[in-house]
Amino acid sequence: MPLEQNPQSPDISGDLAALESQVRDDLAKTLHPSAPWLEPKTGPDGRPALDVLIVGGGQSGLATAFGLKRSQVINILVIDKAGEGKEGPWLSYARMHTLRSPKDYTGPDLDVPSLTYQSWHEARFGKEDWQKLNLILRERWAEYLLWFRRATGISVRNGCELLEIAPAANELLAATVAGDSAIETLYARKIVLATGQEAMGNWAIPEPLRHLPPTRVVRASDDIDFTALSGKTMAVIGAGATAFDNAAMALEAGAAEVHLLCRRSEMQVIQPYRWLTFRGFLRHFCDLDDAWRWRFMRAILELREGFPQPTYDRCARFPNFHLHEGSPVESARETGAQIELRMPRGTLRVDFVISGAGTEIDFAERRELKNFAGNIATWADRYQPPHDERSPRLGLYPYLADDYALTERVAGVTPWIGNIHLFAFASTMSFGPSGSSINAMTTAIPKLVHGLTRGLFRADLERHWNSFKAYDVAQAVIPRPDRAG
Ligand SMILES: Cc1cc2nc3c(=O)[nH]c(=O)nc-3n(C[C@H](O)[C@H](O)[C@H](O)COP(=O)(O)OP(=O)(O)OC[C@H]3O[C@@H](n4cnc5c(N)ncnc54)[C@H](O)[C@@H]3O)c2cc1C
273 C-alpha to ligand 1 centroid (Å): 17
Strands 420-422 and 183-193 turn out to be: parallel
Is there an atom of ligand 1 within 6 Å of 358 CB? no
Query: Which of 191, 195, 277, when mutated, tests ligand 1's pocket best, judged by the most ligand atoms within 8 Å of its CB?
Result: 195
pLDDT for 454 equals: 98
Ligand 1 centroid to residue 146 C-alpha, Å: 14
- Whether ligand 1 lies within 6 angstroms of the CB of 49 is answered as no
- The arithmetic mean of pLDDT across residues 89-101, rounded, is 96
Please state, rounded to an integer, the average pLDDT across all residues of the chain.
95
Which of 78, 87, 97 to probe ligand 1 with, by most ligand atoms within 8 A of CB?
Answer: 87
Per-residue confidence (pLDDT) for residue 371, from 0 to 100: 92
* Cα separation, 109 vs 441, whole angstroms: 9
Residue 68 has pLDDT above 90, yes or no: yes
Nearest residue to 193 via CA among 426, 473, 15, 37: 426
Predicted local distance difference test score (pLDDT) of residue 220: 97
pLDDT of residue 2: 37
**Is any atom of ligand 1 closer than 6 Å to the C-beta of 138?**
no
- Give the pLDDT score at 307: 87
Residue-level pLDDT at 13: 64
Is it the case that residue 215 has pLDDT exceeding 60? yes
pLDDT value for 4: 38
Question: Is the C-beta atom of 79 inside 6 A of ligand 1?
Answer: yes
Atom of ligand 1 nearest to the CA of 438: 11
What does the pLDDT look like over 24-51, one tens digit per residue?
999 999 999 999 999 999 999 999 999 9
What would the mean pLDDT of 269-294 be, rounded to a whole number?
Answer: 95
State in Å: Cα 199 to ligand 1 middle.
Answer: 9
Q: Please, which residues have CB within 8 angstroms of residue 279's CB and are 6 or more apart in sequence? A: 443
Atom of ligand 1 nearest to the CA of 195: 34
Average pLDDT over residues 206-215: 96
Q: Does the beta carbon of 41 sit less than 6 angstroms from any atom of ligand 1?
A: no
Which residue has the least CA distance to atom 11 on ligand 1?
438
- 305 CA to centre of ligand 1 in angstroms: 16
Name the closest-CA residue to atom 37, ligand 1: 195
pTM of the model: 0.95
Residue range 1-20, pLDDT digits in tens = 333 334 344 445 679 999 99
| pLDDT value of residue 485 | 55
Residue with CA at minimum distance from ligand 1 atom 3:
94
3-state secondary structure of 97: coil
Alpha carbons 142 and 136: distance in angstroms, whole number: 10
pLDDT 10s digits, 148-206: 999 999 999 999 999 999 999 999 999 999 998 899 999 999 999 999 999 999 999 99
Residue identifier of the C-alpha nearest atom 22 of ligand 1: 436
Q: Residue 10 has what pLDDT?
A: 46
Residue 306: band (very low, low, confident or very high) from pLDDT cuts 50, 70, 90: confident
Closest-lying ligand 1 atom to the alpha carbon of residue 273? 11
Type of residue at 372: F
Q: Is residue 88 in contact with ligand 1, taking CB distance under 6 Å?
A: yes
Q: Is the CB of 81 under 6 A from ligand 1?
A: yes
Name the residue with the closest Cα to ligand 1, atom 49: 87
Residue 479's pLDDT is 92
Which pLDDT score is estimated for 9? 44
| Pair 363, 200: CB distance under 8 Å | yes
Determine how many CB atoms are found less than 10 A away from the CB of residue 473: 4
User: In the predicted model, what is the mean pLDDT of residues 418-441?
Assistant: 95
419 lines ligand 1 (CB under 6 A): no
Length of the chain, in residues? 485
> In sequence order, what are the residues at sequence separation of 6 or more whose Cβ sits closer than 8 angstroms to the Cβ of residue 184?
176, 177
Nearest CA owner, ligand 1 atom 38: 195
- 56 close to ligand 1 (CB < 6 Angstrom): yes
Reply yes or no: is the peptide bond before residue 102 cis, omega within 30 of 0: no
Task: Convert the pLDDT of each residue in 383-424 to its tens digit.
Answer: 999 999 999 999 999 999 999 999 999 999 999 999 999 999
Cβ–Cβ < 8 Å for 368, 201 = no
For ligand 1, whether the C-beta of 177 sits within 6 Å is no
Beta-carbon neighbour count of residue 212 at 10 Å? 16
Closest atom, ligand 1, to C-alpha of 87: 49
Q: How far is the CA of 468 from the centre of ligand 1 (A)?
A: 42
pLDDT (average), residues 202-231: 97
pLDDT tops 50 at residue 283: yes
Tell whether ligand 1 has an atom less than 6 A from the beta carbon of residue 438. Answer: yes
Q: Is the CB of 241 under 6 A from ligand 1?
A: no
How far, CA to CA in Å, does 460 sit from each of 33, 453, 468?
18, 11, 12
18: Cα within 13 Å, side-chain hemisphere: 7
* Distance from residue 349's CA to the centre of ligand 1 (Å): 33
- pLDDT value at residue 7: 38
Ligand 1 atom index nearest CA of 368: 41
